[in-house]
Amino acid sequence: MTSPVEPDTRPPLGFAGSRIERSAELRADAAALAKLERDPRSRFYLIAGEQVALKQAASRHDPLFDGIEARDLGNPAEVVFMGLLDGAARFAVALAPPGMETLRKRSGIELIDLRSIAVRGLIDNDHLAALAEGKALINWHARHRFCANCGAKTREVEGGWRRDCRSCEVQHFPRTDPVVIMLAVAGERCLLGRPARFQAGMWSCLSGFVEPGETVEDAVRRETREEAGIACGKVAYFASQPWPFPMSLMFGCYAQAQSQEITIDRTELEDARWFARDEVALMLAGRHPQGLTTPLPFAIAHHILRAFAEKGVEFD
């Protein structure tokens, strides 16, 4: 396959491209991490479930808080060491309910869900990438307070990158769920679908979780067949994107369609149909005569569609 976009020219994606050096060698050094938490250069992202605390500003909001501001909010549920940026530590803090209430009462600070932050472009893309990491880890801790092996309580260790069970001594590590998001292509046409949860008029690539024992390519073929009844042959990789809802990694792909007749799985999709390249281009430009749209540029689906609309896809 001739890729429509070379790896070095692929556009920046939302939630990707963090400049933070993860500094994994520091995670086991509790004394060093405690010192970094007290360092005045360290900064903290404050996360409350799906919401993130932002300092309001005229243009881009600021999601970073210093140690004094973070400690004023009381004892956090978790503090995760994310790494170093230009020698200064970055942490993600899980806000406990008292801290959340304190923040809501403060002037100039908002609690906003991460998806809305990305859609509205409220913060720099560098922060989006860091928050994808922090939010995923904070949510993982919230879901793994008890051991899956014996049911006993677990405790946070390694700077928030592991939880240990004191009862059966099993170690639990964060996991990322692989998801395929794919565009089936037949010449100058591509297959798009829309789940019922989408806003009116929006269409996108099909997607689904990779199952145990599957390759990415197998998952692309299976999900396209299951959701829309389209058989696919060759599969080619485009790019990947962290997707912190709650903690997935999206593998963007193109797939060569081998059939044309659509059979929709109504439990997954409200509708699916073929779109010509020029129609996709109109959707991306916001000029479709029926008002049809695509996902916004922070989502990998937007860039998969844009590359197809601008250059097409050729399969060898």
User: What's the pLDDT tens digit per position in 182-232?
Assistant: 999 999 999 999 999 999 999 999 999 999 999 999 999 999 999 999 999
Pairing label, strands 43-48, 51-55: antiparallel
> So what's the pLDDT on residue 98?
77
Q: Cα angle at 120 between 115 and 121, to 5 degrees?
A: 95
- SS3 of the chain: helix, strand, coil, percent, to 5: 30, 30, 40
Q: Do domains 24-143 and 176-311 have the same CATH topology?
A: yes
pLDDT tens-digit series, residues 137-184: 999 999 999 999 999 999 999 999 999 999 999 999 999 999 999 999
* pLDDT tens sequence across 84-117: 999 999 999 998 877 778 888 888 899 999 999 9
Chain mean pLDDT for the chain:
93
Q: In which residue are the tokens 């720099």 written?
A: 124
Dihedral-angle region of residue 95 (phi above 0 means left; psi in -120 to 50 means alpha; beta otherwise): beta
Q: What is the mean pLDDT of residues 292-308?
A: 96
- Residue 262's pLDDT is 98
| 47-69 pLDDT per residue, tens | 988 899 999 988 889 999 999 99
Measured on CA atoms in the order 313, 301, 179, 13, is the torsion positive or negative? positive
Q: How far apart are CA 38 and CA 67, in angstroms?
A: 7
Structure-block tokens of residue 281: 């281009």
**Token pair in block for residue 60:** 């881009």
Amino acid identity, residue 119? Answer: V
CATH number of 24-143: 3.90.79
The answer, yes or no, to whether the previous bond of 4 is cis (omega within 30 of 0) is no
- Whether residue 2 has pLDDT greater than 60: no
Closest alpha carbon to 279 in 158, 191, 164, 154: 191
Please tell me whether the overall predicted TM-score, pTM, comes out greater than 0.85 for this model. yes
Domain chopping of the chain, boundaries: 24-143, 176-311
Residue 3: Cβ-neighbour burial (10 angstroms; 0-12, 13-18, 19+) = middle
CATH of domain 176-311: 3.90.79.10
pLDDT band, residue 10 (cuts 50/70/90): low
Q: How sure is the predictor about 1, in pLDDT bands with cuts at 50, 70 and 90?
A: very low
When pLDDT is averaged across residues 274-300 and rounded to a whole number, the result is 97
Residue that wins the pLDDT comparison between 10 and 112: 112
What is the DSSP secondary structure assignment for residue 159, as one 8-state letter? G
